[in-house]
Amino acid sequence: MTVAAPRRARFPLLRALRRQPLAAVPIAFLLLVVVASVFARQLAPYAPDAFDLPNRLSGPTARHLLGADELGRDVLSRLLYGGVRALVGILEAVLTATVVAVPLGILAGYLGGTFDRVVSWLTDLVLAIPAIILVLVVLTVFPGNSHAAMIAFGLLVAPGFARVVRGVTLPLREADFVSAARVAGVSEARIMTRHILPGVTRTAIVQASLVAANSLLFAVALGFLGLTATPGEAEWGQIVAGAAQQISVQPWLLVPSGGLIALMALALVLFGNALRDAAADLGASAEPPAVTTEPPATPNTARPQAPDALFSVRNLTVAFSQRGRDTVIVDGVSFDVHAGETVGLVGESGAGKSVTALAALRLLARGGRITAGQVLFEGRDLVPLDDRTFDTLRGSALGLISQEPLSSLDPAFTIGSQLGELVRLHDRVRGHANRERCAELLRLVQLREPERVLRSYPHELSGGMAQRVAIALALAGRPQLLVADEPTTALDVTVQKEILALLRQLQRDTGMAVLIVTHNLGVVADICDRVIVLYAGQVFEDAEVYALFDRPLNPYTLGLMGANPANARPGQPLTVIPGRVPPPGTWPAHCRFSPRCAYVQDRCLAAPVPLVEVAAQHDSRCVRAAEFAVVNPTTVTGRDAALTAQEVP
Ligand SMILES: Nc1ncnc2c1ncn2[C@@H]1O[C@H](COP(=O)(O)OP(=O)(O)OP(=O)(O)O)[C@@H](O)[C@H]1O
């Protein structure tokens, strides 16, 4: 396995900007205005207040290129001298708005809850009051002070700006690389500054350029009204005001000042648009997750927690709320994972596998919460722990690898930077020792040329390499339990096998436990010791892997195996489970699988079906489970057939 030569994508936004066809003109114009304003003294042909009465109201001439005003003052010189003041005003407003809005938006989006509600309420309040009224109040306190006025303007536009930043933060908060950082034990403050802030930067730049255009017009308006400039001063608003007074005598006078301001505003907006398009070229943000509604919930039984289990989930119930209504997604799930054991969570799409695993790691998407049950690690219930205590456990006790390896890596940083950060956090080492440990972690996940990989950015890695790096990140804290959410789904078959072999090897070497979420019965057969079959938010079967494949005790498991192409007989169609998994909120009160079950009887429809231990360490949620224990009515050929690694439909 080799790595492409790392090419550092420095200043990607600037590069993307260069590819925008409409970017060059506004940028050149803005640069010209800035340079001309800064060097006004050197460039202006006259002093701003130098009178030339014989040429008053002259229009453009060789002497006065842009004409002269009612006192014969050179319009070009006055515009040049007024430039710095206008630019400083824009800068003050933009800086104020950005400094307030970006942290506020990130905090509101990331922390959510009461903080978010308070920010949202304040935003509504500020947006409801016209900015000019508040600035007039400020100018009453600081008469004629343009700095105070522009800072106040910046503060007034900050809430709208913050709302946009919050919107970008929301999906970032759910991004896999943020979850991975959280699981790895990185502090919330660090996640916000290192992972969220770069993600909102592009939007913030675009937003800031819009604030710049608005603040220019606002500054000119204040000058025009004489609120921040004295009459006749070389200030853009006053220059426009003077020209407006002479409109019937010399209409030309309005052209240079009005034109310059209009072009400036246009250039700032075009610059913002170009930045936005350049940012879009660099990749769009993740979509927020879908949310469902409707409530149910049925009682569940669970076997007592195994006393020696490393990790136990007991009667875990998870609900997502939308518009005030709760929908139960995971309903009283219980299972144990022992040290060194690999447990698979398997079931059709929508069964609740990922939500169960993510709830255990406190990584539920917004709106999701544990409504009942326990998540025990070494006998200690993690559910009531405050975030700070929980964070200390994550990363060192629990690790996560996700379905999309690339999405668990922050695209803005090299692998060395991301891995180095975790090594610094867990091993408290910097410099050479840090680099050594990073390389050791990469060797542990069997990546060749670790130094080269450390210098690479995520986009320079293949899928298999990215997943190995993601595993290395998860291993940085030496977790006792690794949660792997569909770790091979996004990879091609050969790479899937390599990653599974790696997980097996790592487990042998480190003795950690693995909880693996998968659709794939082949993966289950390949690496799991125990299997939990989930259906419609409930555990339907819980068994040791050989027992499950050799003698499944639940019609749903039988259905999954029958639908597995590995079990197909030549010339015979695949058995498929008819119908679909009922969506959360529509589950029947009796057996949830009964509408699709080939073995359904009246008693299945009478009441909720409990999960019972049918054979030693083998639970099934089926009123007919004991019958399956005596006679196995399937054509299932056992674990070996399933090893052909095929997906559950
Ligand atoms: N953020 C969310 N808001 C509301 N409902 C959600 C959310 N995330 C998941 N769900 C719902 O929870 C149910 C279980 O989802 P989950 O992702 O756990 O399924 P799964 O068994 O892992 O399936 P898959 O393999 O397709 O991910 C689904 O019906 C899904 O729509």
| Any atom of ligand 1 within 6 Å of the Cβ of 553 | no
pLDDT, tens digit, 9 for 90 and up, residues 402-423 = 777 777 788 878 899 989 988 9
Mean pLDDT of 244-269: 88
Q: What is the pLDDT of residue 631?
A: 58
Residue 517 exposure: Cα atoms within 13 Å on the Cβ side: 23
Q: Is 80 exceeded by the pLDDT of residue 368? A: yes
Q: Is 321 in the pocket of ligand 1 (CB under 6 A)?
A: no
CB distance 471 to 405 below 8 Å: no
How many Å lie between the centroid of ligand 1 and the Cα of residue 66?
66
- Is it the case that residue 313 has pLDDT exceeding 90? yes
Task: Tell me which of 353, 485, 523 to substitute to probe ligand 1's pocket, judged by most ligand atoms within 8 Å of the beta carbon.
Answer: 353
Measuring from atom 14 of ligand 1, which residue has the nearest CA? 352
pLDDT for the residue 2: 37
Q: Where are the domains of the chain?
A: 26-281, 311-397+527-642
Looking at the CA of residue 358, tell me the nearest atom of ligand 1. Answer: 18
Q: For residue 553, give every residue at least 6 positions away whose Cβ sits within 8 Å of its Cβ, in sequence order, or none.
A: 541, 543, 614, 615, 618, 620, 622, 625, 628, 629
The reply to whether ligand 1 has any atom less than 6 angstroms from the CB of 450 is no
Does 573 score more than 80 pLDDT? no
pLDDT, average across residues 197-222: 86
Task: Identify the pLDDT of residue 12.
Answer: 67
Asked if 307 contacts 59 with a C-beta cutoff of 8 angstroms, the reply is no
Is 365 a pocket residue for ligand 1 (Cβ < 6 Å)? yes
Dihedral-angle region of residue 18 (phi above 0 means left; psi in -120 to 50 means alpha; beta otherwise) = alpha
> Is residue 481 very low, low, confident or very high in pLDDT (cuts 50, 70, 90)?
very high
Q: Which atom of ligand 1 is nearest to the CA of 351?
A: 21
Q: For ligand 1, is residue 587 a contact (CB within 6 Å)?
A: no
Query: According to the model, what pLDDT value does residue 394 have?
Result: 75
Q: Tell me what the mean pLDDT of segment 531-555 comes to.
A: 91
In this predicted structure, the answer to whether residue 90 has a pLDDT above a threshold of 90 is yes
Q: What angle do CA 480, 482, 488 make, to 5 degrees?
A: 155
At position 161, the amino acid (one-letter code) is F
**Is residue 230's pLDDT more than 90?**
no
Distance 348 CA to ligand 1 centre (A): 11
Instruction: Measure 317 CA to ligand 1 centroid, in angstroms.
Output: 14
**Residue whose CA is closest, atom 3 of ligand 1?**
291
Mean pLDDT, residues 172-183: 76
Query: Is residue 23 in contact with ligand 1, taking CB distance under 6 Å?
Result: no
Residues 6 or more apart in contact with residue 435 via CB below 8 angstroms: 416, 420, 454
CA of 350 to the centre of ligand 1 (A): 5
Pocket test for ligand 1, best of 292, 402, 488 (most atoms within 8 A of CB): 292
Ligand 1 contacts CB of residue 586 (under 6 A): no
User: Percent of the chain at pLDDT above 70?
Assistant: 88
3-state helix, strand, coil in the chain (%, to 5): 50, 15, 35
Cβ of 537 closer than 6 Å to ligand 1, yes or no, is no
Whether residue 340 has pLDDT greater than 60: yes
Number of neighbouring beta carbons within 10 Å of residue 494: 9
| Pocket probe mutation, ligand 1, options 294, 322, 354, 402, max atoms within 8 Å of Cβ | 354
Query: Which of the two residues, 497 and 88, has the higher pLDDT score?
Result: 88
Give distance in angstroms: CA of 180 to centre of ligand 1. Answer: 19
Specify the CATH number of the domain 26-281.
Answer: 1.10.3720.10
Ligand 1 and 584: CB distance under 6 A: yes
- Ligand 1 centroid to Cα of residue 183, in Å, is 20
Q: Binning pLDDT at 50, 70 and 90, where does residue 646 land? A: very low
**Strand ranges (E), 13-85:** none
Which amino acid is located at 334 in the chain?
S
**Residue closest by Cα to atom 18 of ligand 1:** 352
Q: What is the pLDDT of residue 570?
A: 57
Q: pTM of the prediction?
A: 0.63
* pLDDT confidence of residue 571: 61
Q: What is the pLDDT of residue 296?
A: 36
Q: What is the mean pLDDT of the segment spanning 453-474?
A: 88
The most confident of the ranges 131-145, 194-208, 346-360 is: 346-360
**Atom number in ligand 1 closest to CA 174:** 1
Locate tokens 């009246």: which residue?
Answer: 602
Rounded mean pLDDT of 372-381?
A: 90
Q: What is the pLDDT of residue 592?
A: 92
- Residue length, the chain? 649
List the single range of 66-75, 364-373, 488-497, 552-561 with lowest mean pLDDT.
Answer: 488-497
Domains 26-281 and 311-397+527-642 share a fold: no
As to burial, measured by CB atoms within 10 angstroms (0-12 exposed, 13-18 middle, 19+ buried), residue 529 is middle
Nearest-angstrom CA–CA distance, 597 and 582: 13
- Mean pLDDT (whole number) for 136-158: 89
Residue 321 CA to ligand 1 centre (angstroms): 13
Amino acid at 84: V
**The pLDDT value given to residue 491:** 72
Of 28-42, 109-123, 175-189, 458-472, which one has max mean pLDDT? 28-42
> Would you say the CB of residue 355 lies under 6 angstroms from ligand 1?
yes
Q: Is it the case that residue 104 has pLDDT exceeding 80?
A: yes
The average pLDDT across 598-625 equals: 88
Cα separation values, 561 from 349, 625, 629, Å: 15, 16, 16
Q: What whole-number distance in Å separates Cα of residue 518 and Cα of residue 346? A: 5
Question: For all residues of the chain together, what is the average pLDDT?
Answer: 82
**Whether the Cβ atoms of residue 236 and residue 261 lie closer than 8 Å to each other:** yes
As a dihedral over the C-alpha atoms of residue 462, residue 457, residue 361, residue 107, rounded to 10 degrees, the angle is -140
Q: Is 367 in the pocket of ligand 1 (CB under 6 A)?
A: yes
Q: Where is pLDDT greater, at 375 or 274?
A: 375
Q: What is the pLDDT of residues 25-62, one digit of tens each?
A: 888 999 999 999 999 889 888 888 888 888 888 878 88
Residue nearest atom 5 in ligand 1 by C-alpha distance: 291
Tens of pLDDT, residues 498-526: 888 888 888 888 888 999 998 888 888 88
Per-residue pLDDT at 70 exceeds 70: yes
- Give dist(CA 411, CA 475) in Å, integer: 20
What topology does CATH give the domain 311-397+527-642? Rossmann fold (3.40.50)
Cα–Cα separations (whole angstroms), residue 148 to 93, 138, 139, 236, 237: 10, 7, 7, 18, 17
Judge whether residue 299 has pLDDT over 50. no
pLDDT at 94: 94
Asked if residue 637 has pLDDT above 60, the reply is no
Tokens of 378: 């070494």
Instruction: Copy the structure tokens of residue 581.
Output: 């998994």
